[in-house]
Amino acid sequence: MSDKKDQYKKTYPISWEQLHRDSKALAWRLVELQEWEGIIAITRGGLVPAAIIARELDIHMVDTVCISSYTWQAQGEINIIKPVDKDGDGWLLIDDLVDTGKTAAVVRNMIPRAHFATVYAKPAGRPVVDTFITEVSQETWILFPWDSESRFVQPIAGIKQEKL
In this prediction, residue 2 carries a pLDDT of 46
Chain center to CA of 47: 9
Q: Catalytic annotation on 95?
A: yes
Which amino acid type is present at position 118?
T
Of 26, 164, 28, whose CA–CA distance to 96 is shortest?
26
What domain range includes position 158? 2-163
pLDDT in tens, 50-81: 999 999 999 999 999 999 876 555 566 888 88
Q: Would you say the C-alpha torsion 45, 2, 80, 110 has a positive or negative sign?
A: positive
Q: Would you say the C-alpha torsion 87, 50, 31, 136 has a positive or negative sign?
A: negative
CATH number at residue 107: 3.40.50.2020
How much is the average pLDDT of 86-112?
94
Set 22, 85, 87, 99: catalytic member: 99
Overall number of domains in the chain: 1
- Torsion angle in degrees (nearest 10) through CA of 93, 104, 7, 17: 0
Q: Catalytic annotation on 3?
A: no
Q: Catalytic annotation on 89?
A: no
**Which pTM value belongs to this model?**
0.83
